[in-house]
Structure formats: structure tokens, C-alpha cells
Amino acid sequence: MTGGASGLGEAAVRRLLELDARAVVALDLNDERAAGLRDELGERFSHHRVDVSDLDQVEAAVAAIEAEYGAAQVLVNAAAVAAPAKLLSSRGPIPMEIFDEGIKINLYGPIHVMRSVVPAMAASEPNEDGERGVIINVSSGAAWEGQIGQVAYSASKAALVGLTMPLFRELAAHGIRVMTIAPGAFDTPIYDQMPPAVKADLAAQSLFPPRMGKPSEFGLLIEEIVRNPMHNGRTIRLDAGMILRPA
């Protein structure tokens, strides 16, 4: 579970543990938050401090996890950064270090983790359907309706939608499903510093229910995808009909 120490990643961690997962491991840079979750959730939750944009760190963490638990059955890529910047602002063209950070974490990160996890997953024992595992990438509504200043973020999230089909087609031969979730606005810590009026305006863009999503509702979709093998090769928008305005 990348980004598993907070936000939607944390919601997915909690739901999988409620479903009696043997173990859930978060790959996250937030040591303090992860330690608090370990105290709360118990020994079935563990944490590796990993920058997903660093392939060496990812490979080392996955090797350690597989040595302890065996091959992963579920992978959720939820780690992401906003990387806000306009192509051209009053300060000049977009700083490439901002764009690079967004692409490296939001797109390279999932690729790094998938290429590290899939070999053992593909070699594991299948269930009665021949399934060996499921990968769930987390995109965004910004993949379609990116707002001004979301050049890097929207590009990275659209790429996750784009790679869903070729990955699903490739990994079907190994009994591995691939799905993508594109959430709208969910009430997670990323919005805590947003002014209340701005937060309320964002929530109002959801057609129904006219509110921000609850992290637990994201967790419910993770459960549905994991439990139901007919979910494969698709992107599901989870956003109460939200259509983001330009800004």
C-alpha cells in the first residue's frame, strides 16, 4: 500500500485489515503517522520508509516484505503529490524540478512498485479462478478535467488511466487483475489547510451527494474490487458526479 500512512491509502489499509487481511504493509515517508497507525492497528500493520520515486528503495522494501510475508496478493498505489505549477506564470515557465517530482512520484512510483511486486505475484499459487493477485492504481478526476496549475498532476494521473488497458491485457495471462480508481474530492488531511469556503465550494461541485467523499467510502470500493473478480481492466470514477471547473 503506497501512501498507506494517511489519506485514501490509510482508508484502504483500514478496510483491508477489517476484512482480516493477514498483513498490510505501507510504503510511506511519514514515519510519525505510520508509527501512530502501528500503535492503533496492531502487528498486522507494518511500515517501510520508502520514496517510491527511488527504484532502489522500492526494490529493497519489496524484497524484505516478500521475505517476511511471501508474494503480495493486493497492491494499491495511492502515493502522490500535487506538484502545482502553471506552464507559464508571473515568475516565468514551469520549473522543471516541480514537473519532474510530480511525474516521478505519481507515475514512475507506481511503475517502480508494480515491476517489483509482479514477478513474485505471478509465480504464486492461484485461487480456484486462476487468480494470483490484483493491482489497484489511484488516478484522479484531474485525468479528464485537470484544473489550471495541474499540468504535472493531470499528466501523471491520465497516464495511470492510459496504462490500465495494456497492463490488464498483459497480466491477464498471469492471473493478475489491474484496476484504476479515479477519486474526486475526499475529506482527507490534504484538504485540512484549505480555507473552509474553498473547501465548501469544492464539495458543492459534486452533483450528489453534494459533499466531499468519506475515506471509508473509498475503502468500500477497494473491498469491492478485491472481492469481485469481474472487476478488471477498467477505471472507475468515484466522485459523486463531480466535474472540476477550470480553477
Cell digits for 19? 476484512
Residue 194 has pLDDT above 90, yes or no: no
- % pLDDT > 70, the chain: 100
- Residues 89, 153: contact at Cβ < 8 Å? no
Residue 190 has pLDDT above 80, yes or no: no
Strands 133-138 and 176-183: what pairing?
parallel
**Does some domain include residue 143?**
yes
Is 38 a domain residue? Answer: no
> Which grid cell is 145?
478535467
- The answer, yes or no, to whether residue 95 has pLDDT greater than 90, is yes
CB atoms within 10 A of CB 38: 16
In a domain, 172, yes or no: yes
Partnered with residue 227 across adjacent β-strands are: none
Given a contact cutoff of 8 angstroms between Cβ atoms, the answer to whether 215 and 112 are in contact is: no
Its domain, for residue 164, covers: 73-238
> Confidence band (pLDDT; 50, 70, 90) for 191?
confident
**Predicted pLDDT of residue 123:** 98
153 a catalytic residue? yes
- Per-residue pLDDT averaged across 104-118, rounded? 98
Q: What is the CATH number of the domain that holds 194?
A: 3.40.50.720
Q: Are 48 and 26 in contact (CB under 8 A)?
A: yes
pLDDT value at 12 more than 80 = yes
Residue 20 resides in a domain = no
Q: Which residues pair with 178 in a beta bridge?
A: 135
User: Does the pLDDT at position 231 exceed 90?
Assistant: yes
Do the domain assignments include residue 110?
yes
Q: Give the separation between CA 72 and CA 75, rounded to whole angstroms.
A: 7
pLDDT digits (tens, 9 = 90+) for 49-91: 999 999 999 999 999 999 999 999 999 999 999 999 999 999 9
Total domain count for the chain? 1
Q: Is 93 a domain residue?
A: yes
Position 48 pLDDT exceeds 80: yes
pLDDT of 114-143, one tens digit each? 999 999 999 999 999 999 999 999 999 999
What is the spatial distance between Cα 31 and Cα 108, in angstroms, rounded to a whole number? 22
**Percent with pLDDT over 90 in the chain:** 91
Rounded CA-CA distance 14/106 in Å is: 22
In a domain, 94, yes or no: yes
- Please indicate, yes or no, if residue 134 is contained in any of the structural domains: yes
Q: How far apart are CA 3 and CA 228, in angstroms?
A: 24
In this prediction, residue 197 carries a pLDDT of: 85
Query: Residue 63: CA atoms inside 13 Å, Cβ hemisphere, count?
Result: 6
Residue range 197-212: mean pLDDT, rounded: 88
